[in-house]
Amino acid sequence: MGQNTIAKTILLIEDDAQLRKLFRKKMEGRGYEITEASNGKEGIDRYREKPSDLVITDIVMPEKEGLETIAELRKIAPDVRIIAISGGGRIKPESYLETASHLGADRIFSKPLEWPEMYEAIEALLKES
């Protein structure tokens, strides 16, 4: 990144505190500015306060789950880039992720994350934004 480049911002909506911490470390190391939220309700509030270039949301969370969060984000910010991630829940992650894709997620990933693929997706989506 050049000196005059403004850091791209990522909002991470994930209920797992350890994954949020790991994600922050990996992304800040690549020059991104990270905002965190522990559930969909908090994530929507954070996005309204400070819109991000990219939103990465888990699917299975308390308060407001990811599918509902994606649908709401698409209403308030139709052009925001969204990555959905899921480790599943009562059903396989693929089922949730397929639905997330239909609701407007630009990319989908199963947990555990494959970091090289995640970096590639983030960079590609941020170039488009």
- Cα separation of 9 and 77, whole Å? 15
Right CATH number for 9-128 from 3.40.50.1950, 3.40.50.2300, 3.90.1170.50, 3.40.109.10? 3.40.50.2300
pLDDT at 96: 82
Instruction: Give the chain's radius of gyration (CA, Å).
Output: 14
Distances (CA, A) of 108 to 29, 65, 111, 114: 23, 15, 10, 12
- Cα separation of 51 and 81, whole Å? 11
Task: Report the predicted TM-score, pTM, of the whole model to 2 decimal places.
Answer: 0.91
Ramachandran area for residue 104 (φ above 0: left; ψ -120 to 50: alpha; else beta):
left
Per-residue pLDDT of the chain (129 residues; tens, 9 = 90+): 444 457 899 999 999 999 999 999 999 999 999 999 999 999 999 999 999 999 999 998 988 899 999 999 999 999 999 999 998 666 666 788 889 999 999 999 999 899 999 999 999 999 987
